[in-house]
Amino acid sequence: MNKAFVKESDHEDDDDLPQAQALPAGTKNYMTPGGYERLRGELTQLMNVERPAVVQVVSWAASNGDRSENGDYLYGKKRLREIDRRMRFLTKRLDIAEVVDPAAQPNRDQVFFGATVLYSDKAGEEHRVTIVGVDEAEPLAGKISWISPVARALIKAREGDTVVLRTPGGIEELDILEVAYPE
């Protein structure tokens, strides 16, 4: 059936990929050197390996004739759209990235981008987090985005300080136990 007669768009699968966290207006896309290299590596892999392989499959599937019921062709075209969308996203993020090397931080006693912080909450539980870029954040692995509420509360604090974290459940105090940077 022609798309003119149904309510579909060429971007019907836009919701298949997880949404990236948006940067606050007017801010830079800070990244660690390792995070930048990981994104650059993903872009290179997509451009040089995955996309050419999918193009080859789509080309082969198209040569088989009827495309309307050709699973290889339909899936391949969908996968190409996903790859192209991810490549556009990565290119934009890398273009605006500002690489900050935490090892070059002169104020090592204060919390800034790239710091690894050990803090305890009011329950006495200790948490170790590393403040990284938006695209590098993995909260379950202890890597939090520099724009997250916890990171914003920790920024500019020093070892021994108590900072205030405002949460939907109320105000919480965090005691900074240790501040470290990579060598």
Write the pLDDT tens digit of every residue in 112-128: 999 999 999 988 899 99
Output phi, psi for 53, to 5 deg: -65, -40
d(Cα 170, Cα 172) in Å, to the nearest integer?
Answer: 6
DSSP output for 75-93? HHHHHHHHHHHHHHHHHHH
Q: pLDDT (tens digit, 9 = 90+) per residue, 53-92?
A: 999 999 888 888 777 778 888 899 999 999 999 999 999 9
Domain boundaries, the chain: 28-99, 110-180
Cα atoms found within 13 Å of the Cα of residue 85, Cβ hemisphere only: 17
Predicted pLDDT at 21: 64
- In contact, 147 and 20? CB cutoff 8 Å: no
Pick from 145, 155, 20: which is nearest to 90 by CA?
Answer: 20
Q: What global pTM score does this model have?
A: 0.77
Predicted pLDDT at 65: 76
Tell me which CATH code domain 28-99 carries.
1.10.287.180
CATH topology (fold) of 110-180 = Chitinase A; domain 3 (3.10.50)
Q: Which two tokens stand for residue 146?
A: 């520099």
pLDDT reading at 9 higher than 70: no
**Residue 9, SS3 per DSSP:** coil
Predicted pLDDT at 22: 72
